[in-house]
Structure 1
C-alpha cells in the first residue's frame, strides 16, 4: 500500500484549503475593507482621518505675539496653537493636528484639523504596510492566496473542473485587469 495515495493527497489538500480558509477570513476582510476605503477615498484624502474645518474671527492687524495671546484668551475650544509664520498678507498658523491661516486685514481665521478614525487607521496601516510592521503577515497572506488559487483549481474534478471550465475562467481573470490597465 502506498504511503501517500491520490485519495489521501486530495483529502489533505481539501482539509488544508478549508482550515487555512477559515484562518484567513480575518485577513481577507481587513484587506478587502481597507481596499474598498482606498478606492473610495476623495481627492487623495486619507480615509483614516476626518477633516474638520473651523472658521474663527479675531481682532484685525494682530502681530504674531498678539495673536498668540488672543488665541489663548478667546479660543479655548480650538486646538492648541503651536506656531505662527507671517507671510506677505497672511499668517500661516500651525495648531495641534492641523494648520490654517490668519488674515490680518479682516481678522478671519481658517483652520483645518484632522481627527484620526481608529478602525480606518488600523486597516489602512495594514494595507499600506506602514512602518513595515506587517511585511511578514503580507508575505504569508500572499503565499496563502497562491495556495488557495492552486488548491482550489485542483480540487474540483469532472466537467466543472479546472481542465474543462476553470482554465477558461482563469484566463478571463487574467485578461480583465490587463484590459483595464491598458484601456483606462
Structure 2
C-alpha cells in the first residue's frame, strides 16, 4: 500500500497550500506594506520617522553657556543635551534630533525625528532589526518556496505547470533580469 496515492497527494498539497496561505496572510501584508514604504522612501530617509524642522531666532554672538541658559525660554523645543562649538557655528544636540546655532545671525535650526509607530513596526520586521525576526523570516522564506512548488503542481492539464506554467515561470525570471541589466 502506498503512503500517498496520486489523488490524495494533490488533495493534501491543496489543503496545505490553502491553510498555510491563510496562516501567512498577516506576515505577507506586513512585508508587502513595508516593501512599498521602502520603495517610496525619499533621499534614503527612513520612512519610520517623520522629520520636523524648527527655526528660531535668538540674540547674536551668544556663547554656548548663554545659549544653554536661554534654551529654557523656548516652550516647544526638545530638551537640550549638548552644545559643541564647530568652527563658525555651534552644533546643538537635542533629544531626538540635531541642529545648529549661527552666532553671526542668531538663527537656530533644529531637525528632530518623530517615530511613526505603524511604519516603525513593519520596517523593523522587514529590516530584521535586532535580529529578532530571523526565525520568522526563515520560516516565511521556506513557506514561500513551498507555495511556489505546490502552486506549480496543483493545477493539471492544459493550464497546468507543464503546459502553461513553465513559460510563465521563465518569464518571471526574465523580467527581473532584463530590468537589472537594462533599466
TM-score interval for Structure 1 and Structure 2 normalised by the shorter chain: over 0.9
> In 2, Cα distance between the equivalents of 1:62 and 1:3?
84
Structure 2 partner of 1:46: 46
1:157 aligns with 2:156: yes
After the TM superposition, which residues 16-165 of structure 1 pair with which residues of structure 2 at under 5 Å, given as runs? 16-72=16-72, 74-165=73-164
- SS state of the match for residue 112, structure 2? strand
List structure 1 segments (4+ residues) > 6 angstroms apart after TM superposition.
none
**How much has 1:58 moved relative to structure 2?**
1.1
In terms of mean alpha carbon deviation, does 118-127 or 3-12 score higher? 3-12
Unpaired runs of 5+ residues, structure 2, are none
| Secondary structure, aligned partner of 2:92 | strand
1:115-161 Cα distance to aligned partner (Å, 9 max, x none): 00000000000000011000000000000000000000000001100
SS in 1 for 2:123: helix
Deviation at 1:105, TM superposition (A): 1.0
Q: Alignment RMSD, CA only?
A: 0.8
Q: How far apart, in 1, do the equivalents of 2:102 and 2:14 lie?
A: 68
1: CA distance, partners of 2:30 / 2:2: 42
User: What is the count of residue pairs matched by the alignment?
Assistant: 183
- TM superposition shift of 1:2: 3.6
Q: Distance in 1 between matches of 2:78 and 2:10?
A: 62
The answer for unaligned runs of 5 or more in structure 1 is none
